[in-house]
Amino acid sequence: MSNCVYKIETPNGLYVGSCKSLKRRKQSHKNFINKKDYKIYRNNIDFTKYIFSVLEENIEDPLELRKREQHFIDELKPPLNSRAAHSTLTHKEYMKEYLTRRFNCDCGATPLTQNRARHFRSKKHETKIEEIKKIFQV
Ligand SMILES: [Zn+2]
């Protein structure tokens, strides 16, 4: 079984996902839960309450796979999915958004996110940070 869209019905609601290899994805879910930090939860999880099923399979094109996943997310509105599988932003829109995004630096400036590294090396940033350090005596 490969390139499929699947759903997991859990006691906490539905989850929809897609994968290249269902076997591998099942394994990665298992590995995740087997991690030390989750052992405490694992013992409290009743795996019989988790129902894994395939919604669609053998979707060759990876983009189509994402689209089909998004289709089921839109249709089923699974509460456990936190992000969109296939972003509705086009590449152009995304780049525009990315190129104009700014961040709030500790020095008080709001430089473009893409210039973050350059900003950190700038004299202006250094001077401001030194001032702030003096003010707060850190
Ligand atoms: Zn700065």
Helix (H, G, I), strand (E, B) or coil at 30: helix
Percentage of residues in the chain with pLDDT exceeding 70? 70
The answer as to whether 86 is a domain residue is no
CA of 93 to the centre of ligand 1 (A): 27
What ranges make up the beta strands (E) of 1-138?
2-10, 13-21, 51-56
* 47 and 113 housed in the same domain: no
Q: Which residue has the tokens 């994402």?
A: 66
CA of 123 to the centre of ligand 1 (A): 9
CA of 138 to the centre of ligand 1 (A): 17
Q: Which residue has the tokens 């930090």?
A: 37
CA of 96 to the centre of ligand 1 (A): 23
* 65 and 100 housed in the same domain: no
**Residue 95: pLDDT above 80?**
no
* 58 and 6 housed in the same domain: yes
Task: pLDDT band for 118, please (50, 70, 90 cuts).
Answer: very high
* Listed residues 60, 80, 100: the one ending a domain: 80
Q: Which residue has the higher pLDDT, 22 or 74?
A: 74
Q: Which residue has the higher pLDDT, 78 or 25?
A: 78
Q: What's the confidence (pLDDT) of residue 126?
A: 92
**Residue 47: pLDDT above 60?**
yes
* 57 and 115 housed in the same domain: no
CA of 107 to the centre of ligand 1 (A): 4
Q: What's the confidence (pLDDT) of residue 60?
A: 87
Q: What's the confidence (pLDDT) of residue 136?
A: 72
* 72 and 106 housed in the same domain: no
* 98 and 67 housed in the same domain: no
Q: What's the confidence (pLDDT) of residue 80?
A: 83
| 20: nearest Cα among 73, 77, 60 | 60
* 58 and 98 housed in the same domain: no
Q: Tokens in use for 102?
A: 């700014």
CA of 119 to the centre of ligand 1 (A): 6
Please give the Cα distance from 16 to 69 (Å, whole number).
7
The answer as to whether 62 is a domain residue is yes
Which domain does 133 fall in, by range? 92-137
Amino acid 26 reads K
Please give the Cα distance from 53 to 30 (Å, whole number).
16
Please give the Cα distance from 66 to 86 (Å, whole number).
6
The answer as to whether 17 is a domain residue is yes
* 52 and 32 housed in the same domain: yes
Q: What's the confidence (pLDDT) of residue 23?
A: 63
CA of 89 to the centre of ligand 1 (A): 30
CA of 97 to the centre of ligand 1 (A): 21
Question: pTM of the entire structure?
Answer: 0.50
Helix (H, G, I), strand (E, B) or coil at 87: coil
* 28 and 69 housed in the same domain: yes
CA of 125 to the centre of ligand 1 (A): 4
